[in-house]
Amino acid sequence: MEHIVIIGNGISGVTAARHIRKNSDKEITVISAETDYFFSRTALMYVYMGHMKFEHTQPYEPWFWKKNRINLKKGFVSKVHSKLNEIEFSDGEKLSYDKLIIATGSKPNKFGWPGQDLKGVLGMYHKQDLENLEKYAANNSICKRAVIVGGGLIGIELAEMLHSRKIPVTFLVREQSFWNGVLPKEESAIINKEITDNGIDLRLGVNLQEIKSDENGNVKSVIIAETGEEIKCNVVGLTAGVSPNIDFLKDSDLEIGRGVKVNRFLETNTPNIYAIGDCAEQHESIEQRRPIEAVWYTGRMMGETVAQTICGNKIAYKPGHWFNSAKFFDIEYQTYGWVWAQPKENEARFYWEHESGKKCIHINYDKNTNQFIGINTFGIRMRHDFFNRVLNKKQTIEYVLEHLADANFNPEFYKLHETEIVAKFNKEHHTNIQLKKKSWARIFST
């Protein structure tokens, strides 16, 4: 019987295992050095904040794996011997495979800062990070202040987590405005205000110089590079992005860039070895997507895709239109299509912001054809299916504005804001777009 070995039990690896089992009787082994069972990484923050227990982050009961004949093995893979079709563990044990799927995910970036390995320095990606938080930042008696380094999505999640336990937080962001490499200046400004409104000490345009130690090897303080200021703290969260977790492959035959290089079928340069999820790097970007995407839903889609190929139905990975979502304290964020930090030469923008400063939409469109390119929404939930359909049919911005009621996820939203949004566009562009009433037939039609 063909043996499929999967290194990594995150969303990519587990999805691959489930779909291989659905479509075959192959032997399947899933290996993890982190936890016995698959869990949702995105739920870790809610465990720390007291909204759930860790066992609630596990979508499947322990009996699920045995029932579905998916073997789980705890261990750290140190080498891949592709010519022998086997992997080697850190304790010297070896395991043979017929096909190997590498789904080892990401690891937090470290940039060689002095003190970056002290006790109390942590990321927010693994279960062990959650355990370290409970050890070093259980409450504001143990942790008098935390410093977070890096202005991405993980950083703001960690800030919210610590804030929920009333631990003072200083947030060091090297950019001049939060996440302004991704978001336009308007949305970035909204996040800046939301962070400071929640009592976070936000420092923009600064870099970490070093983390200082006390006599016991614990974090004592950080030094800001630009000013030399010393900030006393007990915990430092390193959230300056992630990178593929592939150090164990450096001496293998696999082609490596930042991640494991794969083609559209998620195949590596070595027969019978595939890579999926955060650790996989496309040889050529898919349309305007990045070669590496550390996103939950793309990891799941890669798992489904590679399972089909391994089960004899070879298909290419097609992630479709870009979308993503996140939460900045109390402000929900969604994006569909492309809204760059800076518009391209052929692009124009329409921006509407609610008087509260906590809701906005930002639409990107082709200034020559008016074709809709993408939208950011803050504080307003929109329907994924609506924008997927609009992007597929290459509709115009006028069409999107006319049908905002259909895009609205919350029934109360259109009564409050849609008329105002359309009126602002009409005034700015001297048009007379008429808002159409919500049509459930249009919403659920395909």
Percent of the chain with pLDDT over 70: 97
Tens digit of each residue's pLDDT (9 = 90 or more) over 197-216: 999 999 999 999 999 999 99
243 pLDDT above the threshold of 90: yes
Domain 3-107+243-310 has CATH 3.50.50.60: yes
Question: Residue 443: which pLDDT band, with cuts at 50, 70 and 90?
Answer: very low
Burial 232-270 (b: 16+ CB within 10 A, else e): ebbbbbbbbbbbbbbebbeebebebeebbbbeeebbbeb
Q: Rounded CA gap, 203 and 171, in Å?
A: 6
CB 196 within 8 Å of CB 257: no
Section 149-174 average pLDDT: 96
Tens digit of each residue's pLDDT (9 = 90 or more) over 348-378: 999 999 999 999 999 999 999 999 999 999 9
Runs of H (alpha helix) within 34-167:
44-48, 63-67, 127-136, 153-164
Q: What are phi and psi of 76, to 5 degrees?
A: -105, 120
Torsion of CA 196, 199, 204, 206, to 10 degrees: 180
Q: How far is CA 248 from CA 47, 139, 245, 251, 258, in A?
A: 30, 36, 8, 7, 13
The whole-number pLDDT of residue 441 equals 47
Say how many C-beta atoms besides its own lie within 10 A of residue 326's C-beta. Answer: 15
What DSSP string describes 245-269?
A: --GGGTTSSS-BSSSEEE-TT-B-S
Section 384-409 average pLDDT: 95
The whole-number pLDDT of residue 413 equals 47
Q: Which is nearest to 339 in space by CA: 329, 351, 326, 354?
A: 351
State the span(s) of the chain assigned CATH 3.50.50.60: 3-107+243-310, 121-240
- Indicate the CATH number for domain 323-444: 3.30.390.30
Q: Which is nearest to 340 in space by CA: 187, 178, 156?
A: 187
Q: Rounded CA gap, 37 and 59, in Å?
A: 9
The whole-number pLDDT of residue 411 equals 56
445 pLDDT above the threshold of 50: no
Section 61-71 average pLDDT: 95
7 pLDDT above the threshold of 70: yes
The whole-number pLDDT of residue 414 equals 47
Section 310-329 average pLDDT: 97
What is the DSSP code (8-state) at residue 132? Answer: H
Section 180-196 average pLDDT: 97
On whether the pTM is more than 0.85, the answer is yes
Q: Rounded CA gap, 5 and 117, in Å?
A: 32
What DSSP string describes 379-435?
A: S--B-HHHHHHHHHTT-BHHHHHHTHHHHBSSTTHIIIIIHHHHHHHHHHHT----P
CB 198 within 8 Å of CB 163: yes
Identify the weakest region by mean pLDDT among 34-48, 90-104, 199-213, 381-395.
Answer: 34-48
CB-count burial class (<10 Å; 0-12, 13-18, 19+) for 330:
exposed
Tens digit of each residue's pLDDT (9 = 90 or more) over 257-296: 999 999 999 999 999 999 999 999 999 999 999 999 999 9
What is the gyration radius of the CA atoms in the chain, in angstroms?
Answer: 24
444 pLDDT above the threshold of 50: no
Section 137-165 average pLDDT: 96
The tokens of 224 are what?
């800001």
Averaged pLDDT of the chain: 94
Q: Rounded CA gap, 10 and 101, in Å?
A: 12
State the span(s) of the chain assigned CATH 3.30.390.30: 323-444
CATH C-level class of 121-240: alpha beta
Amino acid identity, residue 211? I
The whole-number pLDDT of residue 437 equals 75
Question: Residue 16: which pLDDT band, with cuts at 50, 70 and 90?
Answer: very high
Q: Rounded CA gap, 169 and 428, in Å?
A: 41
Q: Which residue has the higher pLDDT, 238 or 416?
A: 238
Section 34-42 average pLDDT: 85
What DSSP string describes 194-207?
A: HHHHTT-EEEES--
- Our CA angle for 426, 431, 437, nearest 5°, is 70
Amino acid identity, residue 36? D
